[in-house]
Amino acid sequence: MAEPRKIGWETKIAGTKSALLPTRTNRSKPLVAGDSVFASIFSPGAVCAAKRTTGEILWFVKFDSLGSGSVILQGRNLYANSNRTLYALDPKTGRARWTFSPISDNGEWIYSSPSVRGKRVFIGDRCGYFHCLDAVTGKTLWRRLTSMGKNNQVNSTALALRDRVITANNQGVVVCYAIETGKTMWRRKLDGPCVIELLRYGSKVIVATDSLYAIKLSSGAIDGTWTFPLQTVKSVEVVDFRIALVLGTDFVSQPAAWNKASAFNGDLVILEGGQEVARTKLKGTPTIRASKENGHLYCVSPWGMQVIDPAGASILSFQQRQIGAPAISEGQLYGLTEEGALFSEPVP
């Protein structure tokens, strides 16, 4: 007989200095999978698993450096990374099946998060390279320099689907590679750096730089561009047929705005059919994540969490606590606080 699930629990992760790293992905933190809850800890750098029903810590593994913003479970492996090393872990024990560091020297070499397609794992590094690894062994199958020149760091998280993988770098270069061979399928230069996760939107890939782009997956042709005067794109999410994005102040064009407290707040914009259909003011410029279970947007920032209905961008609730983008599963909300407390509670 299955163990009954508690209505709520909270577990403090010992030794945590700062649990949350501001993330540019749409992945939940923590991750709920099966009977476990997995969480990456920014400082001092670790990953752990807890029992989903009670919050009991099952295992705890320290990283070689500060932790990233999220973890993913794909196939047999739980993938987590520090700013130096990618780990493929046994999700039941935390044992490392393999590790990968793009450079052996000490330093911060990885600011992106891994993507997985079949038996291949993809991750970018801060030297401009994009790596394809064997998911079973961690062996490098191919790697490509995404562009030449300064600040070609690959800090965005790639989109892998069908026979291709698309990545982007801080020079605003978007590249599509063949998954099997690493052959360049197409290349596109955009108007600014891309550090946000690339998302699928039907037959297009959504890429956020200073502006927002919809690019055809097949050819790399730009199918839509949205620019926002005096604002830049801070976060983006796809919610069924809608695109939701958070806009923040463009301080480059408005340096005096640093002196205005209101400039550090943002707007949530909803696009349908390429047109803006709703907009609402936000506290801060949060990262947004959509729940597949209830369709709501969860907007998290140091000021708290706002829950929003994407149909009209109306704010449903606000909680004044700093947590990562939560996981919503079977009516429960699973979260991680900045102080390092994992918790479960009914969805409000």
**Is the model's pLDDT at 56 over the cut of 90?**
yes
For the whole model, what pTM was predicted? 0.94
Mean pLDDT of all residues in 242-268: 92
HSE-up of residue 230 (Cα within 13 Å, Cβ side): 8
CA 75 to chain centre: 19
**CA–CA distance, 209 with 170 (Å, rounded to integer):** 9
Q: In 10 A of CB 234, how many CB atoms?
A: 22
pLDDT at 4 over 70: no
Average the pLDDT over 273-288 and give the result.
94
Residues 62 and 310: their CA atoms lie apart, in Å, by: 38
Cis ω on the peptide bond leading into residue 44 (within 30° of 0)? yes
Split at pLDDT 50, 70, 90, the class of 6 is low
SS3 168: strand
What the block records as the tokens of 344 is 């479960």
Digit-coded pLDDT (tens) for 69-128: 889 999 999 999 999 999 999 999 999 999 999 998 888 999 999 999 999 999 999 999
Which amino acid, one-letter code, is at 237? E
Summary mean pLDDT of the chain: 94
Mean pLDDT to the nearest integer, 41-59: 97
For CA atoms 312, 318, 323, 329, give the dihedral sign. negative
| Per-residue pLDDT, 161 | 95
Domains of the chain: 111-227 (2.40.128.630)
